Structure 1
Amino acid sequence: MKFLKKLENQTLIAIIFGLLVGYFFPGASTYHSVLGDLFITLLKMVMIPLVLLTLFHSLLNLTKQQDIFKQLGFGIFVYYLATSVLASFNGLLMANIFSFGGSFETEKVSGLSSLAPKDIVLSFFSKNLFKSLVEGDLVPLIVFTITFAVFVGKSTKNKDRLIEIVDVLTDAIQKLTEFIIKFTPVGVFSLVAVLFNKLDFDKYSEMGSFFMATGIGMSIHAFIILPLILWVTTKFSPLRFFLQVREAVLVAFFSQSSSATMPVTMRVLEENAQVEEKVYGVSVPIGATLNMDGAAFYHAILIMFMASLSGIQLGFGEQIVLLLLTQVSSAGAAGIPNGGLMMMSMMLSIVGIPAEMIALYIIVDRFWDLPITAVNVWGDLIGAKVLDSKLKNSSDKAHI
């Protein structure tokens, strides 16, 4: 059956069976929990090399596209970074407003330690990279990778050879990850069954609060923040623009893929919104991989929710670090096989949330993946219109 050949359908069936086994045979977790533990261990095994190599590979390839900077300057990156930061901040704000509480009966773990402003800055750098690798301290490793990639991009000596080596290594680690991901249904079955045993059913209202906070927050970003940016920068009617490009938003919603929606996104921008090809030809491909407003919002609010359920309270300093980390996790997910799962595993590890919580992410992600993708593409569309307006205004001024 075609239905059973798709990994997402296999995972859905595994979730259902996991819930049933967790409910009717709670004692069986003693026997099958090893499957979930093994799956988590394999994810952790590839997590660091996968994240660092993919990030390094993407940045190196970006440095080769000098025409991007010549055409649009840093405007495209400023827009994407600004909207992504706003989305993450919105997620954290919603989490604090709704004051997520309650807990699963899991061992209470200490996540990010309470950080003073000085500690926040220092936590992004490592005295010993090898020690950070061994301890799985990803934050300074990510900072080093970004910095190193920038300076490698400025170098000319043997850079192409290094890029070829990184291409091979990145391809190899992604193929290994794809192999591990094939066992997702088995791991998910075990993790869901184990997690179900630890659910405090008196706290189900917390899940309702999470869904309400996520829905409200995502609506604010999609229907207020992004349209406001469009109107302020271009004076163009957000409603009129949405009607022009609504086909791309709907395709993104149902396809759950920013990349698969790209042809439609480009077509509606050119035919309906009169955006020039030299703008959308650059902004849309980059946006489909780097501009993930919906994911940035979702990662921030979901991590806060899972931390609260795990008995971990994140203070102001830790939330600042989380806001910055969600920029990496949301953008990095696009270039990684089953990227959402891998980046969420990374975030759980950094914050100190029990690894078994990944099962909760897998369950709720099936619902939220549709609106998240739509918001991602909606942000790309507005970004292209904003940059096109900026370019046309600059051109008009040059002819005066």
Structure 2
Amino acid sequence: MKNLLKNWNRLSLVKQIIIGLLIGIILAVTIPDVAQPVVILGSLFVGALKAIAPVLVLFLVMSAITQHKSGQQTNMKSIVVLYLVGTFLAGLVAVIASFIFPVGLTLANSPEGFTAPGGVSEVLKTLLLNIVDNPVNAIANSNYIGILTWAILIGLALRSAPDTTKTMISNFSEAVSKIVTWVIKFAPLGIMGLVFESISTNGIDSLLSYGKLLAVLLGCMAFVALVVNPIIVFLAIRQNPYPLVLKCIKESGITAFFTRSSAANIPVNMKLCENLGLNKDSYSVSIPLGATINMAGAAVTISVLTLAAVHTLGIEVDFATALILSVLSAVCACGASGVAGGSLLLIPLACSLFGIPAEIAMQVVGVGFIIGVLQDSFETALNSSTDAIFTAAAEFKEWRKEGKKIDISKVA
């Protein structure tokens, strides 16, 4: 047993996760009833990530702000620009693909117990209210906009505090980061439980009738991940972007795929940025911010499902309106919550652009929930891995300007 554990620890985390994934698939296919208890492993893993992430963000950002020296570079402006450009281009790709490969829907019953926002103004209002949320409530409800706001304000207020206070905050930050590394070590077991639950509960039969819709959705996301994002990264760093892109997909995308929550994947992305040697002052803010506003996958989902409803109803769409949809889907995506299925409830908002009634739009949302087992997994994998990709790209861009050597091939 001791030798087995030693050999296991020698494997990289990604290899361990792949082994856990394969075991989960085998158990779900062969002995789903007997192996049912492994489901708790997935629930515990996701629960632990969701529990530690808000505390991690609070202390990391507070520590970064209190320790920040005047004139120190953080790259936040470049990162936010990359986030916004990437989300808009993802929506545009989805619009173009939906015109090339138009998809019709067999509308299902609308889901019960969900309320869609009434307009862009309501989405923006919610974001503003989240900013001024009670700090304790923000942490309890994983409101990362509120957590970031309070962490920045408290950090600024403590800039002139004694060094002992700053050291204490830094020690708390390091302690929480250490706990995160402990949680991530259990990722293989968590992934095993999650994939077992997904396959044994949902199967693939319910997805077959929506094959074409899924092909367009997942094809758009793959195109954004493997073509659009690498182009953006190349323009920033002027080097082969694929070692960085593939590393982030491998180490961030896999866990995000199964947790289906950008918020829960924040600790994973933080650890990835640390391994890439990035500036902690930058990624401690950009990663939780990205989990809120960098939503390329959500933009794809909103655009594709909205235009599927448009094609189903035979509505004519000109180029100008399609371009507006790209912008609207990007704005809506920025307001999507970082939880499973968060983007689907923004579809009625986009449908309103074409005069589609709310009751029909909510039926489209119902279709989204049917295919959600794959749609939401791929969407979250794209969203979360892109947070790390653009954070790294912005910093590598600054390194290039400063004349520092960037051996990007070594990040793979």
> Which TM-score tier does this pair reach, normalised by the shorter chain?
0.5 to 0.7
Residue deviations 1:123-156 (CA, integer Å, cap 9, x gap): 3333533333334433322222223323433xx2
Q: Following superposition of structure 1 onto structure 2, how do residues 162-177 of structure 1 map, counting pairs within 5 Å?
A: 162-177=165-180
Task: Specify the alignment match of 2:223 in structure 1.
Answer: 216
Correspondence 1:117 to 2:121: yes
- Of 14, 25, 32, which aligns to 1:19? 25
| Counterpart for residue 185 of structure 2 | 182
Deviation, 1:59, is: 2.9
Residue 347 (1) aligns with residue 338 (2): yes
Residue 275 of structure 1 corresponds to which residue in structure 2?
none
In the other structure, the counterpart of 1:342 is none
Conserved 8 A contact 2:295-2:334: yes
Provide Cα deviations, 1:54-102, integer angstroms capped at 9, x if missing partner: 22223333x22x2436xxxx9x543332223212333344456667999
1:194 corresponds to which residue?
197
Q: Distance in 1 between matches of 2:133 and 2:279?
A: 38
Displacement, 1:171?
1.5
Q: 2:134 maps to which residue?
A: 128
Q: Which amino acid letter does the alignment assign opposite residue 231 of structure 2?
A: F
- Determine the C-alpha separation between the residues in 2 that align with 1:94 and 1:380: 26
Identity of aligned residues (%): 12
The alpha-carbon distance between structure 1 residues 381 and 170, as it changes in their structure 2 partners (threshold 3 A), is: closer
| Counterpart residue number, 2:88 | 89
SS at structure 2 position matched to 1:68:
coil
Correspondences of 1:24-35 after superposition (within 5 Å): 24-28=30-34, 30-35=36-41
- Map 1:1-400 onto structure 2 (within 5 A): 4-5=8-9, 6=11, 7-28=13-34, 30-61=36-67, 63-64=68-69, 66-68=70-72, 76-94=75-93, 110=114, 113-114=117-118, 116-117=120-121, 119-153=125-159, 156-158=160-162, 160-196=163-199, 197-198=201-202, 199=204, 200-202=206-208, 203-205=210-212, 208-218=215-225, 219-223=227-231, 227=235, 242=238, 245-246=239-240, 249=241, 252=244, 300-303=295-298, 320=331, 322-323=333-334, 347-348=338-339, 351=342, 361=377, 379-384=394-399
Contact 1:88 1:297 in 2 (8 A): no
1:46–1:177 CA contact under 8 A, matched in 2: yes
TM-score (norm: length of structure 2): 0.57
Q: Distance in 1 between matches of 2:207 and 2:374?
A: 19
Q: CA deviation at 1:169?
A: 0.9
CA distance change for structure 1 residues 320 and 20 in 2, over 3 Å: closer, same or farther? same
Q: Normalising by structure 1, report the TM-score.
A: 0.58
Q: 1:35 to 1:68 in 2, by over 3 A?
A: closer
* 2:339 aligned counterpart, secondary structure: helix
Structure 2 unaligned regions, length at least 5: 249-271, 310-325, 345-368, 404-412
Q: CA deviation at 1:214?
A: 2.6
Q: Contact conserved, 1:114 with 1:318, CA < 8 A, in 2?
A: no
CA-atom RMSD in angstroms: 5.1
Q: Find the residue that maps to 2:338 and give its secondary structure.
A: helix
Give the Cα separation in 2 of the matches to 1:93 and 1:170. Answer: 39
- Give the 3 Å change call, closer, same or farther, for CA 157–102 of structure 1 in structure 2: farther
1:177 is matched by which residue type in structure 2? Answer: V
Looking at structure 2, the residues matched to 208 and 352 of structure 1 have their Cα atoms a distance apart, in angstroms, of 18
Name stretches of at least 5 consecutive residues in structure 1 with no aligned partner.
231-240, 263-282, 326-345, 389-400
Measure the CA separation in 1 of the matches of 2:398 and 2:106: 39
Q: Is the 8 A contact 2:60 2:284 kept in 1?
A: no
Q: For residue 221 of structure 2, what is the amino acid of its counterpart?
A: T
Alpha-carbon distance between aligned partners in 1 of 2:78 and 2:141, rounded to the nearest angstrom:
35
Deviations 1:205-233 (A, max 9, x none): 55543442134334234436963xx7xxx
